[in-house]
Amino acid sequence: MAAWIFQARPERYKLEEKLQVDTTETWLVTRYRKEMSRGDIVFFWRAGDRQERGLYGWGRIIDDEATNYKGWGWGIKVVYSCRFENFIPVDEIEREGILDNNLILRMPAGTNFKVTDEELRQLSEMIQLRGEEVPSSFLEENGP
């Protein structure tokens, strides 16, 4: 299982409105599409103004592989599993140094970003400390 960050640009996609638990959505996959598969964790990141930029929730990929949608590009279906009560701002993530090496902070152009196992562990711990629901795979490996 892998983990990803999918980035939404507010002028194109209203993540705060669309991210509803148990809702299925097709997301554009501009890179790494051949590495994505059913069950992978996806964190949802809102781009834009710094005071609103950060993680808003997580979900899982439900497609076996990406599909080419004519006139749109490659897409993959996800189900929204958790919407954070309070989003995790980029300032907090930077302060903790969790994604310092991730392209979402170093070069945030694009839609999809790979998350390392260590980044997943650190993000999950941060989410858990904030009292939010964490991906079940983290709990299976680390206990409640």
User: What CATH number corresponds to the domain at position 92?
Assistant: 3.10.590.10
C-alpha closest to that of 106 among 122, 127, 126, 90:
90
User: pLDDT tier at 108 (50, 70, 90 boundaries)?
Assistant: confident
The answer to whether 132 and 82 have CB atoms below 8 angstroms apart is: yes
Q: Is 21 part of any domain?
A: yes
Q: Is 143 part of any domain?
A: no
Count of domains forming the chain: 1
Q: Is 39 part of any domain?
A: yes
Q: What digits encode the pLDDT tens for the residues 52-80?
A: 999 999 999 999 999 999 888 999 999 99
pLDDT of residue 140: 52
The answer to whether 29 and 66 have CB atoms below 8 angstroms apart is: yes
Q: Is 144 part of any domain?
A: no
User: pLDDT tier at 137 (50, 70, 90 boundaries)?
Assistant: low
How far does CA 51 lie from the centroid of its chain? 18
Where in the sequence is the domain holding 20, given as residue range(s)?
3-138
